[in-house]
Amino acid sequence: MKQNSLSYIYKIFSVTLFFALSPLLKSNPIPSGSAISIIAPTTINQPGTFRLAQDISGTVTINADQVFFDLNEKAISGGGHGIIVDGQTDITIRNGFVNNTTFEGIQLTNCTNAQITNIDFIGNSTAVSITKTSTGITVKNCKFRNNVNNDETTDTILSVSNSSKVKIANCTFEDNESPHIVLVDNSQDVACEKCTLVNNSAQTGMGSSGSVVTYNICFNAIIDSCIVTDNFAQSQFTGINFIDTQTSCIINNIIKRNISVAYVSIGIGLDPTSYCVVLRDNLVMSNRGGTSSVGMAFATDPFNDIVLGNQVIDHNTNYSITKGSTIPVAILDFAADPNFFELNSTDTLSRYHNISSKEMPLE
């Protein structure tokens, strides 16, 4: 009975996420006709194809639907923002550089069906901001390097907030500094897939706690096939952090060799209000903390989570489960050993299913 219920939950997650995110698989077509050259900061007020003819310093504002903006391997630098799009539909921004902005490199507000592809973001504060009921947004094949955001009110390199159907795919985040590198807040149907996050400093200049990928108050989220490695924070560090996030998946990721200099390092963390989460086939390995390290940390009242087929090894505590509910987490990992667990309560391991997923497949 337990096996069937877990199988049902997992299949429901998979089907829901597939149908929610499938609209993101389409691409905006490349418009026909000649392109209009952009040679200075400007506002685009008509549909069409636009091409950056030279490097510029300042802001390009897109104030029309159906705009295809090719940066043509050129750079938009300086100024408060690089590109602003507010309330527009069918927007493509591709092939170039957005550098050294004071605020957002690209800001999408209340946009529908927008794509950001093959852009290098260097030396910005927040590189990309997707906010205020934006939907159908794709960020793919982009590189985020040497962006620094120590503003505690924005505190991230890539921000998704109050939005839906967003896909972040095949992006690289390297040598950035911010309390969060990717922060998804109060959103649903947001996928982070096949991204690499390496050598980032997940902290503020004050040395506070940080995390590399954080989902806060989210529904139908997925983090799939990402690499989170060799990042660090001065204080508490978490590689992938779910806060008040439900019916979501963390699958096929590698989280290893991340460091908290002075406190605890956590590979994957679920807070007390996150539940119905599938954690499957992740490698969580050799994260290090100044005081201790934890592979997977489940806070108070975890329930209806499925933890299956992960390899969680080489930490002070591979699994930490704080009891607060009578509804158990199902731990179905390879080589699950009672010695791997630290229960911060008087409860015993009899509540948990510590068997190999090879012996109990989800069928």
**Alpha helices, DSSP H only, in the chain?**
2-21
**Is 331 inside any structural domain?**
yes
Residue 208 lies in a domain: yes
What pLDDT is recorded for position 116? 98
Residues 94 and 70: beta-carbon distance below 8 Å: yes
What CATH number has the domain bearing residue 22? 2.160.20
Q: Give me the mean pLDDT over the 113-142 stretch.
A: 97
Structural domain contains residue 361 = no
- CA separation for the pair 227, 35 (Å, rounded): 38
358 occurs within a structural domain = no
The reported pLDDT for the residue numbered 349 is: 32
Domain assignment present for residue 44? The answer is: yes
For all residues of the chain together, what is the average pLDDT?
Answer: 82
Smallest CA-to-CA distance from 158 within 79, 204, 109, 104 is with 104
Assess if residue 170 is contained within a domain: yes
Banded model confidence at residue 338, pLDDT cuts 50, 70, 90: very low
356 belongs to a structural domain? no
Q: What is the pLDDT of residue 184?
A: 96
Number of domains in the chain: 1
Rounded to 5 degrees, what angle do the CA atoms 294, 228, 230 make? 80
With respect to residue 360, please indicate whether it lies within any of the assigned structural domains. Answer: no
Predicted model pTM: 0.84
Q: How far is CA 35 from the centre of its chain?
A: 34
DSSP summary character for residue 17:
H
> Is the pLDDT at 251 greater than 70, yes or no?
yes
Average the pLDDT over 331-356 and give the result.
Answer: 37
Q: Which residues have a Cβ under 8 Å from the Cβ of 152 and sit 6 or more positions away?
A: 179, 204
Q: Classify 350 as helix, strand or coil.
A: helix
Given a contact cutoff of 8 angstroms between Cβ atoms, the answer to whether 145 and 119 are in contact is no
Q: What burial class does residue 331 get, using C-beta atoms within 10 Å of its C-beta: 0-12 exposed, 13-18 middle, 19+ buried?
A: buried
How much is the pLDDT for 206? 44
Q: Kindly indicate the confidence band of residue 208, based on its pLDDT and cuts at 50, 70 and 90.
A: low
Confidence band of 110 (pLDDT split at 50, 70, 90): very high
Domain extent, residue 125, equals 2-351
Q: What angle do CA 5, 7, 12 make, to 5 degrees?
A: 95
* Lowest-pLDDT choice from 163-167, 209-213, 283-287: 209-213
